[in-house]
Structure 1
Amino acid sequence: MTDSDQATGNTGVSTDLYTRVQQFYARQMQALDGGRFEDYAATFTKDGTFQHSPGAEPAVGRDGIVAELIEFHKRFDGDPVQRRHWFNHVVLEPLDDGSLRSTVYALVVTTRPGGKPLIAPSCVVNDVLEVEGGAVLTRSRQIDHDQLV
């Protein structure tokens, strides 16, 4: 891919594939925000990795991802909080092995009853996605928090 291709948005990814990835992210984030951690983990490959907190070791495999999410969300026990993950500005780049590098801007919106939405953190999500047939799965995810850059 040339610099001109990148500048014009010609990344070698079809509109159909781009749309499928956006739909994938929408379903994945709704599972996470709905507390359906098993469904969220099922969007990763069996040996997928998930690193969401700065400095933390990545969770490995679907069971590891579920355990990490349960542990992380204990901080909200007894707190009637609703968190929403907003993914936008998705850039997809084909890799030589047939997978995709995905770079996404993400905001997390936290709302409590009667309160105003709080937007934090602002992040960049760095994924490697595998696409086989109609299925999209996350092979790896590393999240970089903007406030730490």
Structure 2
Amino acid sequence: MTFADLHAEVQQFYARQMHLLDAGDGEGWAGTFTADGVFAMPSAPEPVRGRPTLAAGVHEAAAKLRAAGEVHRHIVGMVAVEPLPDGTLKVDSYAQIVATPRGGHPRLHLMCVCHDLLVREKGQLRVRERRVTRDDRP
């Protein structure tokens, strides 16, 4: 696989993953992580671990957004892919979260940096570990 092909595959992975997240598909989104995948975000005191917990978090967030009458879209860009000697991929990207209230105007809700470690399972990319930082926090 050429680097260009690999980069395109990673871009497609993130596009699919963010569509699942924004649709509130907790099981689908959690399925893009390894079974023991870790998601560390600044809004949580401890990292989230494992697909069931990841899926539950998506369902909870989607319910809160529905109740608030707001839609969030995650836009991932500036994807930097670094293949590591063991076959894993270190991927750093920027993530913008655009919030649109029903009947209102879109606004930039958050600007984040994602630091991912991707692995291949049965030919599919999966997140083993994701660490998110936010620009509004130290």
When normalised by structure 1's length, the TM-score is 0.84
1:54 touches 1:144 (CA, 8 Å); kept in 2? no
Q: 1:22 aligns with which of 11, 25, 34?
A: 11
2:38 is the alignment partner of 1:49: yes
- Letter aligned with residue 93 of structure 1: E
Gaps of 5+ in 1: 1-12
Greater strand fraction, Structure 1 or Structure 2:
2
Cα deviation code 1:19-40 (max 9, x no counterpart): 0010000000000000001000
Per the TM alignment, residue 134 of structure 1 is displaced from its structure 2 partner at its CA by 3.8
CA distance in 1, matches of 2:43, 2:52: 21
CA distance in 1, matches of 2:43, 2:63: 18
1:103 touches 1:124 (CA, 8 Å); kept in 2? yes
When normalised by structure 2's length, the TM-score is 0.90
- Letter aligned with residue 28 of structure 2: D
Percent of residue pairs identical: 39
RMSD of the alignment, in Å?
A: 1.7
Which residue of structure 2 lines up, in the alignment, with residue 35 of structure 1?
Answer: 24
Rg comparison, structure with higher value = 1
- Letter aligned with residue 67 of structure 2: G
Match of 1:147, SS? coil
Per the TM alignment, residue 68 of structure 1 is displaced from its structure 2 partner at its CA by 2.4
How many residues are paired up? Answer: 137
Gaps of 5+ in 2: none
